[in-house]
Chains A and B, each alone.
Chain A
Amino acid sequence: MSNEAEIDTVKILINAIPSEIEQNEAMSIVLKYSEQHSVQVQKKIYYPYYWVLFSYTVKTLFGRSRSTKASCLVDLINNQAATTDKFEFAETQVIKDNVLEHDYTEEQAIKTARTYLTHASIHNMKVLFAPDSEILKQSIVYKPFWIVKCTNRDRHSFKVIVDAVTGKFQVL
């Protein structure tokens, strides 16, 4: 029994984006859209991403664009990339059990990020050139999410994840 408790509370250091939304706020956000439910925060988990900061330029009819930075986050469970706003992260001590394991490697993530940057460049800027890009910074980072359970009067329940950085949510 004591061993299990010990395993549950083993702590590790990870690069995490700081939480902006506390447990009570996460509950309030969910409660706002599910007033007929009882709402309970189950735990805070840390989702793995690979962060790549690119510097890139594109060719256009008007010459080469100014060098621009693009921050890309690759989801290390689904291997999907998206560009993102600037964010900060810091070494944080968290419970190991709350950190989700990643399924993809650093190499795979960088390849995915580059492909996404090229795709976005061609289709959003309509430039039939691969952008010239170089990696300025890279790291595994974790983003905190609250898992909230909602139960109605008939005892049917569902779960919601609340992004602990932005407060946006999605039903699980």
Chain B
Amino acid sequence: MNPIVLIFLVFYYVVVVAIGFWAIKKGGAKDLEGYLLGGRKVGPLVTAMTLQSTSMSGYMFLGGGSAGYTTGYWSIWYAVGDIGGGVVNLSILGRRMRKLSKILGSLTSIEYLEHRYPHAATRLISGGLSVFLLFFYVLAQFIAGGKGMALVTGLPYGAALAIAVGIIMLYTFMGGYFAVAYTDFFQSMVMVLGMIWIFTATLIHVGGFTAVNEAIGNIDPTYLSIWGKDLANRFAWSDLLGAVLIFSVGYMGWPHVVTRHMAMASPKTARLAAVYSTIWNLFFVTAPYLLGIFAIIVLPNLADPEMAIFTLAEELLPAAVTGIVMAAIMAAIMSTADSILLQVGTIASRDLYQRFFHPKATDKQMVWVSRILVAVVGIVGLIIAIFNPPGVFAVTIFTTSVLGSAFMPAYVCAVWWKKANTPGALASIIGGAITAFLLEKLGFTINPMLGGLVVSWALMIIVSHATQKSHPVADHIIKAMDEAIKLGPIPKDMLAKSDFNLAQEANGINKKIDK
């Protein structure tokens, strides 16, 4: 381990901690209040950057690089879906979901599902499934953090993992470390610069795209094929479609991603966010896969493909820069783990514990339930990550496939299809999840994401139609959907400039007028 790397890594953390300390102690109550209110004092560009950078998780740095390193240009199919994923999500769900969740008064995405598809089973199944699957996503972050920490400190993987998980648990419990917009922004700036630096340095090192492609062609020309190394996925259209779908529509099943739609300020924000996220994705989504491909030349004998990007940074960047960039990458991984853990805690406490076991639970009791569950997830995750760590790429793809298959039709139909009812949604959620899970575990030739989505959509449509008479969609939901869709002779510009925050008052006034 180069001591300069370690010194600059520590230096980076000291700066971040100092900014956090200043902001929370000296920065004034106004800033704290602004952050509590949802960061509304932070401009749209800063907000977009912070949001995008926090979505840069262990998958990007370990999974993406590993996919590029092991399969070559086939891996770019995953990036293709991801580039347009933000726009697809915002276009399909964005404005309508924001308004509908506001009108229905939903604080969490699981609560929103129950309000739209009213039945206790909706919340029980959706909440349980989300907690179970998000655990695996947290596990991927633990493994990524452990591997990164091992490389930076030179400690054995087990010890490095314990430290990484310990730090994640500490700030999830104690809070505040990444809580302030300034530290988030500082970290995202470092990550942006770091990623550009690693990419540029590697591209220069390999002599540009033409040179790298020629060199890879000399090693094994099938790396350059769109079907993957050794043409392993030749004419496997199901896998190709599944790879594109996974991050283009799969995100619509993620509770923490869907929650962001519920917090959007206005249609204008949605449009701006879509533009920013597409620009961001063009570079940052493809870069990890391309770095993995470059690493085939630079690091031909890499024992662990998931270490491709970390090792490239260590090999090609000046020691001081490596220290800072590695710290920023670690911070990104830990910040993602922290967010997911909080999401898991909220679903467990609000959507399961309070809803089914203790309706009169106080806020403090619910926070305790969150803490206990977060501790259990941390301990179990640590044990699995030490003794039987799965690949970060495989875990992320599995989690996204099952979550996407389970929830994507339910979220989309919630705002687009008035006939989508509770039995249809439940059949879709259960059927989609089981299908994707079985296709993944039993190794059928049909891609789990594709198969899961087909079954989930089919069940939503067939069961909803079959049960329209016995389970009609309630009037108040139809009215809320009309309110969210706002059909009629209303000028488009007027709808675009309407304030989302007044949707609930509009609904309240409509209720009174109806009376």
Q: Give A residues with C-beta under 8 Å from B.
A: 30, 33-34, 36-37, 45, 47, 58-63, 65-70, 75, 77-80, 82-83, 100-101, 114-116, 118-130, 145, 147, 152, 154, 156-158, 160-161, 163, 168-172
Specify which chain A residues have a CB less than 8 angstroms from the CB of B107 in the assembled complex: 115-116, 119
Among B102, B176, B489, contact of A152 (Cβ-Cβ < 8 Å): B489
Q: How far is the CB of A77 from chain B (nearest CB, A)?
A: 4
A122-B347 Cα distance, complex, nearest whole Å: 13
Q: Nearest chain-B residue to A112 (Cβ)?
A: B105
Among A45, A65, A128, A156, contact of B374 (Cβ-Cβ < 8 Å): A128
Q: Nearest chain-A residue to B18 (Cβ)?
A: A62
Specify which chain B residues have a CB less than 8 angstroms from the CB of A163 in the assembled complex: 499, 502
Specify which chain B residues have a CB less than 8 angstroms from the CB of A128 in the assembled complex: 172-175, 342, 345, 367, 370-371, 374
Q: Interface segment, B31-39, B60-68, B270-278, B459-467?
A: B31-39
Please provide the chain B residues from 1 to 56 with a CB less than 8 Å away from any CB of chain A in the complex: 17, 20-21, 24-25, 29, 32-33, 35-39
Q: Nearest chain-B residue to A115 (Cβ)?
A: B363
A119-B511 Cα distance, complex, nearest whole Å: 27
Main secondary structure of the interface of A (DSSP, over half): mixed
Given the contacts A78-B105, A79-B105, A100 and B508 also touching, CB distance less than 8 Å: yes
Asked whether, in the complex, the Cβ of A161 is within 8 Å of the Cβ of B33, the reply is no
A105-B244 Cα distance, complex, nearest whole Å: 51
Asked whether, in the complex, the Cβ of A47 is within 8 Å of the Cβ of B505, the reply is yes
Asked whether, in the complex, the Cβ of B370 is within 8 Å of the Cβ of A171, the reply is no
Asked whether, in the complex, the Cβ of A169 is within 8 Å of the Cβ of B498, the reply is yes
Among B20, B29, B504, B510, contact of A172 (Cβ-Cβ < 8 Å): B510
Residues 490-515 of chain B: 1 if any A CB is under 8 Å from the residue's CB, otherwise 0? 11011101110111111111111100
Q: Which 6 A-B pairs have the closest CB atoms?
A: A60-B176, A127-B175, A77-B508, A170-B502, A33-B494, A168-B499
Among B179, B367, B494, contact of A171 (Cβ-Cβ < 8 Å): B494
Asked whether, in the complex, the Cβ of B508 is within 8 Å of the Cβ of A169, the reply is no
Among B363, B367, B499, contact of A170 (Cβ-Cβ < 8 Å): B499
* 15 CB-based A-B contacts, threshold 8 Å: A60-B177, A61-B175, A61-B176, A62-B25, A66-B24, A66-B25, A83-B37, A100-B509, A122-B367, A127-B176, A130-B363, A168-B502, A169-B497, A170-B505, A171-B490
Chain B contributes a number of interface residues (CB within 8 A of A) equal to: 63
A26-B472 Cα distance, complex, nearest whole Å: 40
A19-B21 Cα distance, complex, nearest whole Å: 41
Asked whether, in the complex, the Cβ of B491 is within 8 Å of the Cβ of A65, the reply is no
CB of B441 within 8 Å of the partner chain: no
CB of B188 within 8 Å of the partner chain: no
Given the contacts A62-B25, A171-B498, A145 and B174 also touching, CB distance less than 8 Å: no
CB of B486 within 8 Å of the partner chain: yes
Q: Nearest chain-A residue to B508 (Cβ)?
A: A77
Asked whether, in the complex, the Cβ of B35 is within 8 Å of the Cβ of A125, the reply is yes
CB of B170 within 8 Å of the partner chain: yes
Given the contacts A59-B174, A62-B176, A114-B363, A33 and B491 also touching, CB distance less than 8 Å: yes
Q: A100-B509, A152-B489 are in contact. List 17 more A-B contacts (CB 8 A).
A: A37-B491, A60-B24, A65-B24, A65-B176, A66-B29, A83-B37, A119-B107, A122-B370, A123-B342, A124-B37, A125-B32, A125-B175, A147-B509, A158-B489, A158-B490, A168-B499, A168-B501
Asked whether, in the complex, the Cβ of A129 is within 8 Å of the Cβ of B367, the reply is yes
Asked whether, in the complex, the Cβ of A66 is within 8 Å of the Cβ of B32, the reply is yes
Specify which chain A residues have a CB less than 8 angstroms from the CB of B363 in the assembled complex: 114-115, 118, 130
Among B170, B171, B179, B501, contact of A82 (Cβ-Cβ < 8 Å): B501
Q: How far is the CB of A169 from chain B (nearest CB, A)?
A: 6
Specify which chain B residues have a CB less than 8 angstroms from the CB of A145 in the assembled complex: 505, 509
Q: Nearest chain-B residue to A160 (Cβ)?
A: B494
CB of B338 within 8 Å of the partner chain: yes
Specify which chain B residues have a CB less than 8 angstroms from the CB of A101 in the assembled complex: 512
